[in-house]
Amino acid sequence: MIHKLKLAGLIAGILVSGSCLAQTKLKSFSDIELGIETINYSEKLNNLAGYGRLKQDINVYNVTTRNSAYVAINDEFGLYLDGFASLAPSIQTETWSLGEFAAIQQNDFKINHNELAFRISYKYTEKHRIISGFRLSSLSFIRSHFEFVQPGADNFNAQLAADGNAPFVLPNGDISEQYKSNIAISEIQDEFIGLIGYRYEPNELPARGDWTWYTGIEMGIPIYSITQNTTIEGETLNEFFGGYSLIGKLGLRYQLFDNLGLLATFTSYYKYRDVVKEDTGNGNSVSVPEVNFYNNAVTLGLRWSY
């Protein structure tokens, strides 16, 4: 009888222990979202050969996808894998201005922004996480269908002629044919970015029918970047620690079922790139200008927990 009671107690203990493990099972999840992003992209050279600041500023709208996965390692540590990509980039008209001459050139412009991030998460309380890792970033654009904007272009060329300088020409080097050029110029910048951030998620495992929210911020430093521009023949521009980036995120989730929730997320991304310059010898150099980049996105999607 005593042996039977011990056996029954042992079985009961195993069942209770298994029940507790099931209730405290670590949750991992995957998010997939689709939405709209607006990208503001601006370049400037503070002084173009003594004639003033050359600058442009443009907004484009793209469809975007945002994906995220979290793998729980234990109660405190986990791994985030995040990615996003611009889809179906729109084409907008870009205008360049120069000092007192105002607008001198316009062209078509489209841009893509794709990133993949790997981050370790440390949960130091039930609601707060510290995250750290790295991001692989690719930012590329295409400019095409260049033409002069008048009267700024002619006034600038008149001043160049008066100063004994060569004329301002479009990318094909030809100022005939109604001041138009069909040459396309592209640039791509690939970066390896170190990052650190914080995330607040008050309810990680909501009950069915619950509304929950989360927010986070990350700061990134481009440890190494490679820039290629089709106007710079045979040269690749390399840079270490040439800028910074900030990302903020705010999300709302509604739990449809035990393992499936609806997501709505707003993400704001700012990136700054300093002037990148490379010496080519004999006192010559090539460069790409300072860049300010803003990406704001609103996305809707699903979270599957497992």
Bigger pLDDT: 299 vs 150: 299
Instruction: Decide if pLDDT at 15 tops 70.
Output: no
pLDDT score of 221: 96
Q: What is the mean pLDDT of residues 227-255?
A: 90
**Best mean pLDDT range from 4-8, 184-188, 217-221, 288-292:** 217-221
Q: How confident is the model at residue 230 (pLDDT cuts 50, 70, 90)?
A: confident
C-alpha dist (Å) from residue 49 to 52, 105, 286: 8, 17, 14
Q: Whole domain around residue 184: which residue ranges?
A: 28-305
Q: Minimum mean pLDDT among 26-30, 123-127, 172-176: which range?
A: 172-176
Q: Does a structural domain hold residue 140?
A: yes
Q: Does a structural domain hold residue 8?
A: no
HEC profile of the chain: CHHHHHHHHHHHHHHHHHHHHHHCCCCCEEEEEEEEEEEEEEEEECCCCCCCCEEEEEEEEEEEEEEEEEEECCCCEEEEEEEEEEECCCCEEEEEEEHHHEEEEEEEEEEEEEEEEEEEEEECCCCEEEEEEEEEEEEEEEEEEEEECCCHHHHHHHHHHHCCCCCCCCCCCCCCHHHEECCCEEEEEEEEEEEEEEEECCCCCCCCCCEEEEEEEEEEEEEEEEEEECCCCCCCEEECCCEEEEEEEEEEEEEEECCEEEEEEEEEEEEEECCEEEEEECCEEEEECEEEEEEEEEEEEEEEEC
Instruction: Decide if pLDDT at 147 tops 70.
Output: yes
Q: Does a structural domain hold residue 6?
A: no
Q: How many domains does the chain have?
A: 1
Exposed/middle/buried for 254, CB within 10 Å: 0-12, 13-18, 19+? middle
Instruction: Decide if pLDDT at 20 tops 70.
Output: no
Q: Does a structural domain hold residue 21?
A: no
pLDDT score of 294: 95
Instruction: Decide if pLDDT at 151 tops 60.
Output: yes
Q: Output the domain CATH number for residue 149.
A: 2.40.128.90
Bigger pLDDT: 25 vs 290: 290
pLDDT score of 176: 56
Q: Does a structural domain hold residue 159?
A: yes
C-alpha dist (Å) from residue 211 to 3, 195, 206, 243, 292: 51, 30, 8, 38, 36
Q: Does a structural domain hold residue 264?
A: yes
Instruction: Decide if pLDDT at 27 tops 90.
Output: no
Q: How confident is the model at residue 179 (pLDDT cuts 50, 70, 90)?
A: low
Q: Does a structural domain hold residue 296?
A: yes
Percent of the chain with pLDDT over 90: 53
Percent of the chain with pLDDT over 70: 88
Q: Does a structural domain hold residue 147?
A: yes
268 token code pair: 């704001």
Q: How confident is the model at residue 97 (pLDDT cuts 50, 70, 90)?
A: very high
pLDDT score of 21: 37
CB count within 10 Å of CB 257 equals 10
Query: Residues 149, 128: contact at Cβ < 8 Å?
Result: no
Q: How confident is the model at residue 167 (pLDDT cuts 50, 70, 90)?
A: confident
